[in-house]
Structure 1
Amino acid sequence: MTRVIIPGFLALFGHCYPKFLRTAGIDKQVCVNFCCYGLMALLLMACNGNKPAQPVPGKNQAIPATIVAVQPVIMPVSLETIAQTEGAKEIEIRPRVGGILLKRLYTEGMAVEAGQPLFLIDPEPFQNALAEAKAALQEQNVRVLRAKSDEDRQRQLLAENFVSQRAYDLATADLAIAAAALQAAKVRVQQAELNLSYTTVRAPEKGVTGRSQLSEGTLISANSSLLTTLTQLSPIWVRFSFADNEVARLGGHLSEKNVHRVKMILPDGSEYQQEGKINFAASKIDPQLGTQQLRATFANEDQRVFPGQFVRIRVTAGESRAVFMVPQVAVLTSDRGRFVYVLNDSDEATQRPVIVDNWMGKDWIILEGLQTGDRVVVDNLIKLMPGKKIEPQVRDQLPSLQPGLDSINN
């Protein structure tokens, strides 16, 4: 075909060779060669266009992905909620007597023992009051001795009929009055000694002190002036609540008897090493908030947790149930909810809607949507789409699943 087209083209070109090309001095043979090469290129492109398109290598090849065959695990119902810590005892330190605050005897923010001195109030007025009370006591002792002597004398005279019965009765009454006054004087001495001891303000419990609220030299009032606070850090209490529908999921009214386990998750995401116990559960649902108030106690000997921190509490209660544990990375979200990729019998990826509960460790707890033995894809998810062929790489148990199972078995 080329042998026919090219000679014809040359004859046509020689007949139509324009005069302006001759005038411009362009060689005729150069133009002929250029046009021939262009025509041959067009013919070759036309011939190659009739060949069928070759498939792109690897377009329909299976992609490798790790799968795990899920198995049900038995675990009780658990829920998490935000909570706040507080000291088991948070004590306001106030003076029991008034006076001039002479000195602070502790280092602010440091731990103190029970009975350790914290403040000193001017003791001089109370020392004087004690001395006065002791003097009054001594006076009453003398009065009692005199009244007893009078009573003895009147008894003897009455026996000899030298005095009337009335005179003896008056002497007996005076002795009783003096004895009662003596007891009152003793009590005043005890109170004066007690007030003097109150001038040294001591820590009522072991704990951590707060900032001093009053400066030295301040005139303070008894039972009203706040000196500082004392917080007991061990044990530590945690307050939290659950909505009424969450309480129903946990089996109804919560109490220390039907709660199996209480765990605390610290602000950094780590789990507190010791479990807690419920030490308070409200007897009814708060009608304004629709929640049940609860409180748990945790040992805090290392003082890792401080009052006022926001933490998370995981409560395990209710009846056990069969669920599936799937790594968090395997659970995806769409506008229709959460789903996972499951392999069918042809090793093709299919989307499976699931209903999740909470997460445990690095795993989601799957309540509905999976069946025993389902092969769930747990990696290479970015390349997946429904119907995609998968080259499965089976693992019996992923490391990320183990914490969840351990927490159940324990």
Structure 2
Amino acid sequence: MNLSYKLVAFSALLIAGFSCGPKQQAGQQAPPAVAVTTYTVISKSVTGIDEYPSTLVPLNEVEIRPQIGGYITNIYVQDGQEVKKGQKLYEIDRSKYAASQQQAQALVESAKANLAKVSKDYDRYKRLDEQDAIAKQQLDYAESAVLDAKAQLSSAQAQLASSSTDYSYSVLTAPFDGTVGISQVRMGAQVSPGQPLLNTLSSNDPMALNFVVNEREIPRFNKMLRAEDNPDSLFRIRFSDNSIYPFNGTFTTIDRAVGRQSGTIALRVQFPNPNRELIAGMTVNLQVLNQDLGEQLIIPYKAVTEQMGEYFVYVVGEDQTVQQQVVRLGTEIGADIVVREGLKAGQEIVVSGIQKLRQGAQITTAAPGQQ
């Protein structure tokens, strides 16, 4: 028993020596502190803005096309002219349409006269029939003649309506206020129903702006659409020369569905356009105020790293070790960025030397450029 006990004790000591010795020796060689620069988190007054590439479109736009055939005999507007609703734009040779209208009118008058004649005959035959002075068959013939005359009058009136419509189509007018483009035809050009395109008319004021957002942003814009206390400057336009359009927009529409392939949805904002600075088809940047308004926590963007879709920073503890902290980011402002969640004012974070750090690493601060 004593020998067995001694063998077990010796084995235990031998195992302990092999397992503990190297670890204790490694623990004695602590890794050197990593030289980094740090930044103290502060709050600043900011105006958070998101930008979206957008396209200006008119609220109303229509292609001016002929509905009858003929030759262009008049062009009443200049290229790019502003017009009012009902104003004449083009005229197609009206002579044959005027003649057709007159002929149809004559047919209507003739049909009316014939109906009046056979109606009188029918009334006379009806009185005679009441006195048994004529055969029943003759009254039936008179009644049929009245019905036939009424049908002829209806047909003549339909022809008159058709010819009158064609005659009215010979002058094309503006369906709404707007601006015409460059005319695609000249005097004397021959046209047919639907061809060619004569011009395009677009409304000017207000102007709509269409932009696209990811479906993840739909709840945010739904709240904007329903809110009654949104700031007046919520939507602005920035032109390609970086100038800002002086009028603010009004959020009006969210499209009916998200695109199945793109995962995006179209939205629309309207802008007043009294000075005609906004032109249909222009590409601009829509600026939208976000939640980063007023006093917000600001840190240098280079202090942020990303792993598996999450953003984090290294926070310096009192013992000069660092811990990873997940943060939710907001608006990028120059070289800085807003932190919406994850940090507090006064905390110290690592700005440079991050690539050498790991969780719990010991650090030593260095002047910028010396790490």
> Given the two structures, how large is their TM-score scaled by the length of structure 1?
0.62
Report the residue type matching 1:217 in the other structure: G
Counterpart CA distance in 2 for 1:140 and 1:241 is 61
Letter of the 1:312 counterpart: N
Distance 1:74 1:222 in 2: 59
**Is residue 117 from structure 1 mapped to residue 88 from structure 2 by the alignment?**
yes
Q: Which residue is equivalent to 2:283? A: 310
Q: Do the aligned residues in 2 keep the contact of 1:92 with 1:230 (CA within 8 Å)?
A: yes
CA shift at 1:363, angstroms? 8.3
Aligned to 2:181: 210
Structure-2 separation of matches of 1:288 and 1:240: 17
1:155-194 correspondence runs (5 A): 155-194=126-165
Q: What amino acid does structure 1 have at the position aligned with 2:239?
A: L
Structure-2 separation of matches of 1:258 and 1:117: 43
Q: Which of the two has higher C-alpha Rg?
A: 1
1:146 is aligned, of 95, 98, 117, to 117
Q: Mark the CA change 1:94 to 1:307 in structure 2 (over 3 Å): closer, same or farther.
A: same
Which amino acid in 1 is paired with 2:272? A
Q: Distance in 2 between matches of 1:363 and 1:173?
A: 93
Indicate the SS of the match to 1:233: coil
* Alpha-carbon distance, 1:80 to partner: 2.3
Mind listing any 5+ residue stretches in structure 2 that lack a counterpart?
1-39, 313-325, 349-364
Q: Does 2:268 align with 1:295?
A: yes
- The equivalent residue for 1:257 is 226
Structure 2: distance between partners of 1:83 and 1:298: 13
Gap runs ≥5 in structure 1: 1-67, 340-352, 376-385, 390-410
Q: Secondary structure at the match of 2:77?
A: coil
Distance 1:335 1:159, change over 3 A: closer
* 1:265-290 deviation line (CA, Å, top 9, x unaligned): 22222332333233321233212111
1:157 CA displacement:
1.5
TM-score by length of 2: 0.67
On the 8 A contact 2:297/2:344 being kept in 1, the answer is no
Q: Structure 1 residue 156: deviation in Å?
A: 1.8
Verify the 8 A CA contact 2:51 2:285 in the aligned structure 1: yes
Pairwise CA distance, 1:336? 5.7
> Which deviations, in whole Å up to 9, do the C-alpha atoms of 1:339-385 show, x marking residues without a partner?
9xxxxxxxxxxxxx99753357998544368644689xxxxxxxxxx
Identical aligned residues as a percent = 23
Residue-pair matches, total? 300
Decide whether the 8 Å contact of 1:256 with 1:277 is kept in 2. Answer: no
* 193 and 185 in structure 1: CA distance in 2 versus 1, 3 angstrom threshold: same
Deviates more, 1:365-374 or 1:207-216: 365-374
Q: Which moved more, 1:330-339 or 1:223-232?
A: 330-339
The separation in 2 between residues aligned to 1:205 and 1:255, in whole angstroms, is: 31
What do you get for the CA RMSD once the two structures are aligned?
A: 4.1
Structure 1: distance between partners of 2:329 and 2:199 = 49
Opposite residue 154 of structure 2, the aligned amino acid is: Q
**Partners of 1:363 and 1:185 in 2: CA distance:** 80
Amino acid in structure 1 at the alignment position of 2:255: A
Match of 1:243 in 2: 214
Q: Are 2:89 and 1:105 equivalent residues in the alignment?
A: no
CA distance 1:103–1:363, shift in 2 (3 Å): farther
How far is 1:184 from its partner? 3.1
How far apart, in 1, do the equivalents of 2:244 and 2:126 lie?
84
Tell me how far apart the structure 1 counterparts of residues 184 and 367 of structure 2 sit (CA, whole Å).
70
Per the alignment, do residues 359 and 232 of structure 1 end up closer, same or farther by CA in structure 2, a change over 3 Å counting? farther
Residues 190 and 362 of structure 1: CA distance in aligned 2, closer, same or farther (over 3 Å): farther
What residue number does 1:87 align with?
Answer: 58
Tell me, in whole angstroms, the C-alpha distance in 1 between the residues paired with 2:80 and 2:111: 49
Deviation at 1:73, TM superposition (A): 5.9
Question: 3-state DSSP class of the match of 1:163?
Answer: coil
Query: Is the 8 Å Cα contact of residues 324 and 370 (structure 1) preserved in structure 2?
Result: no
For 1:274-289, what aligned pairs fall within 5 Å after superposition? 274-289=247-262
Residue type matched to 1:291 in 2? T
